[in-house]
Each structure stands twice: as structure tokens, then as C-alpha cells.
Amino acid sequence: MEKFRIAIPSPNIFIHHLAGVPAAILDDKGNKVDANRAFVALAGEDRAAGFRELLPEEESMERLCARCVESPEDNGTAEVKIRLSGGELTTARAWMAGIETGKRKLYALLLYETAQEEEAGLLRQFSGSFVKDVNLGVMLIDHQFRLVDISDMACSILGIERDKSLYRPLEEVFQSVPKEHQLVQRNVLDGVVVRNHAISWTNNRERYELLMDTNLFRDPQGNVIGAYVIFKDVTNLRSLEQQVQRSDRLAMIGQIAAGTAHEIRNPLTSIKGFLQVLNRTFSQNGMEKEQGYTDLMLAEIDRINELVNEFLLLSKPKDVTFDRVDVSSVIRDILPIINNQAVLHNVTIKYQSVYQIPKVVADRELLKQVFINLCKNGIEAMVEGGTLTIIERVDYREKKVLVEIQDAGPGIPAFLIDKIFDPFFTTKDNGTGLGLSVCQRIIHDIGGNIRVSSKGYGTTFTVSLPFSSN
């Protein structure tokens, strides 16, 4: 017995100094003489209850103490069973030693790694890894509606900095967003559960389509201690679905246009020719009123011709020449055209280029058409003037060249933003509603995409073009 006895002047002080480890003093019958708070929290407060039933039946306290000492491979510990305060049995690793008191046999018992603690440790490890590594937006909220943890993906999508946001109320985290449009409302703590809720979110650069789930965390007594929010970025899926729908409509329109353009243009050419003759005759005879009528008709015929031309562009463009194109040089080529348009609308052009931008495979003239159209739309949106900003960026991870065209206009209402690429949808008095559809068709045909974001003030179109590192 001597080899596993220790001398402790005051056993009670000894166990109470081990604040984080469940510790107790037992007599040779297995009865609790004293226990610290950690042990009481684990096994209950009844000090009169015997501890013997919690140990292997075939072993005495002395034998169990010896078994701990004789197992150096387990760091001097042995496995025991302990009944928790709730009544259930669990296993734990125990360290024991006899205590020299001079009066009676006492034993110091320390418990390590209970099965519940091990399970909780695994859960904590999984939780930490899940929030850090999972390809989902994850937010953990406490009962005071403060942000306790957030995944990297959520920070990226929501446009917030993790270190500056933790342990702050969510109203402060999203203070730049109107309360009714904030991602998470306080009523989530009242038990308002959300499943596959579709929402749109715009950070400073991009617009995302998200599917969101929420639920509560409760303690064993059923009290709400927090909530979680999980969301998945389905922007690409939503974009692909819309692209397929638009492509079907555009293909149908393109087929109709290709089949009827010839039949439309022939009579228009004849009508235009005769009207020009009449117009000249009216002019020579001083018939100003009649000449005004023919001027109006000729202008409308020109408009019909332009509409037919746009119809034809909806079908797959013919005579397309794909080559390696420097996007910066394309934008520099169209800047004089854009500047002339900007001067007429009291708009300033701001251009931020990238040095040695990777080349993309595209048709140079069609790219010019896309950028001219988007810039023209941005200029016309700023009826009271402003700044049109053209920004080049390179995403080397995704291997994409990005061109952002930002205006300072009134923005696009949320209920219209999903419709702007639809054929024939326009908010202009004289628009055909085909310009953006044509732009989207051109960019999709070269493997890129166009995305739009608007926060109620200003609109940003982002053209994304893939490049090869070869």
C-alpha cells in the first residue's frame, strides 16, 4: 500500500484547489468524505450516498487504487463507472491515491475524460471545423442576438469582417442595411423557423441568390440559448435556370427573325424608296406639311430596320471570328465613342485598367458591342449627370477577367432586376427591350456571364470572361 500513498496535510484543501477537475475524498468503504464543485456538478450533491456501487463490484478501494498505480501505460489511471447527477451511468478514467492521515484510510479520486466529456469534445471539434471549413454560410447567434461565430464563406458573401463583427448585436453588424431587409431578424429567437427560404443579397460588389435555414439552440431545460443560420449560395444554379429559360425564348425569337427578316426588309425597302421620292417632291414644291409626314414615316421605317437587325442578332451571330483578345484594348477603342455620349448627358467617365490583363477568347467586335451597350445604358440612367466607372479586375483563382460598369443613377428596383435580361422588357420610352438580351447572348456564347447588382442607388453590371493560363 505504501507505494501508492501520498502525504497531504489537508485533503479538503487539496481537492478544492482542483477547480476544473472533478475530485473527491473517499473512505475505505467508498463513501464520499468531501468533494469539490466539479465533482458535485457531475455526480450530485448527496455526500452520504456510497460510491462503492459506482466502482467495479469485484474490486475494493485498495485494489482499484493499486490498479491505477500499476498502469503506467494509461498515465496511472483506470476505467471506472460513475453515476451522473441525472441517474445515468457513464465511464470515466480515474486517478487514485491513498492519503496518509494518521487516523483512517482515505483515498483521493480524480476523474478525467468522462464519456460525456469526450463526446462533447468531439462535438466541439466538429462544430469548430464545420464553421471553419464547410462550403456554407453559417452564423451562430446567442440569446442576446449577438454574433458568436461565422464561417468564412458567410463573411465573403455578406461582405463583413469576422474579427470586427464577433460578439456584436446583428443590428450593428448589418447597420448599413435597412432593418426590414437585414438577413436575420430578431424574431428568429422567438422560434420563427425558416426552411429553404429564398432571398437575394447584394454586398458592395455582387448580388447573390441564397437559400436559408434557421433554428434554435435550447438547453436541457428547454430554454432558448441561441440560434443558427445556414445558407447556401445558389446564384449559379439560379443563373443557369434563368439562362436556359432565356436561351429558349431567344432561340425561338431568333428562328422567327431569321425566317421573316428577308420578307420584312424587301417591302420596307420598296416603301422607303417611294417615300424618299415623295419627300423630295414635297420639298421641291414647298409642301412642308406633307414633307413632315414623310419625314416621320421614314424615321419609323429606320426604327423597324433597327429592330429587325436586333432580332437577327438574337440568333447565333454569323461570321463570328474568335481570337485571343486584350479586353483593355477593346475598352480603350470604345472610350472615344462613350466619351462623346457622356458629354451630351453631363457624365464623367472614370476608367481603372489592369496592367497586362490576361487575354480572353472572343470576337472583338461583339465585345465592343456589349461594352458600348452597357456603358450607354449607364450614361442614360444618370439623367442629372454623374460618374460612369469602368473597372477591370482579374480573378486568378477562378481564371476570369471581370469588367465592372458602375453608374450613379437611381438604381433598379428589386422587383424588376430579375427581368432586365428578358427579351422585350424595357423601362425606356423608345427602347426595344432587346439590347441586354443580345449582350447576354454574346457573352454566354463565349462561356462568360453578365451579373447585375443594385442597392437602390446606382447599378453595377459585371461582365465575367474566362481566360486560359496557357
Place of cell 447573390: 208
pLDDT of the residue at 119: 47
Least confident of 115-119, 335-339, 410-414: 115-119
What is the rounded distance in angstroms from the CA atom of residue 247 to the CA atom of residue 261?
A: 20
The answer to whether residue 60 scores a pLDDT higher than 70 is yes
Give residue-wise pLDDT tens across range 365-374: 889 989 988 9
pLDDT at residue 407 greater than cutoff 70: yes
Spatial separation of the C-alpha atoms in residues 348 and 304, rounded to whole Å: 32
pTM over 0.85: no
- The rounded distance, in Å, linking the Cα atoms of 243 and 450 is 10
Q: How far apart are CA 281 and CA 258, in angstroms?
A: 36
Question: What percent of the chain shows pLDDT beyond 90?
Answer: 8
| Rg (the chain; Cα; Å) | 38
What is the tens place of the pLDDT at every residue in 304-340?
877 776 666 655 555 667 888 999 999 999 898 888 8
Q: How far apart are CA 234 and CA 198, in angstroms?
A: 9
* Chain position carrying cell 465585345: 367
Q: For 197-227, write each residue's pLDDT tens digit.
A: 877 777 766 777 788 888 887 876 777 888 8
Mean pLDDT of 273-287: 87
pLDDT value, residue 83: 67
Give the span between the Cα atoms of 387 and 463, in whole angstroms: 19
**Whole-angstrom distance, CA of residue 437 vs CA of residue 440:** 5
First to last CA, the chain: 77
Q: Is the pLDDT of residue 3 over 50?
A: no
Q: Long-range pairs for 216-219 at CB < 8 Å and ≥24 separation?
A: 216/188, 216/189, 216/191
The grid coordinates listed for 248 are 429558349
C-alpha–C-alpha distance, residues 312 and 317, integer Å: 8
Closest CA to 322 of 267, 367, 265, 361: 361
Give the residues across from 391 on adjacent strands.
Answer: 352, 404
- Average pLDDT, rounded, for the chain: 75
| pLDDT of the residue at 290 | 86
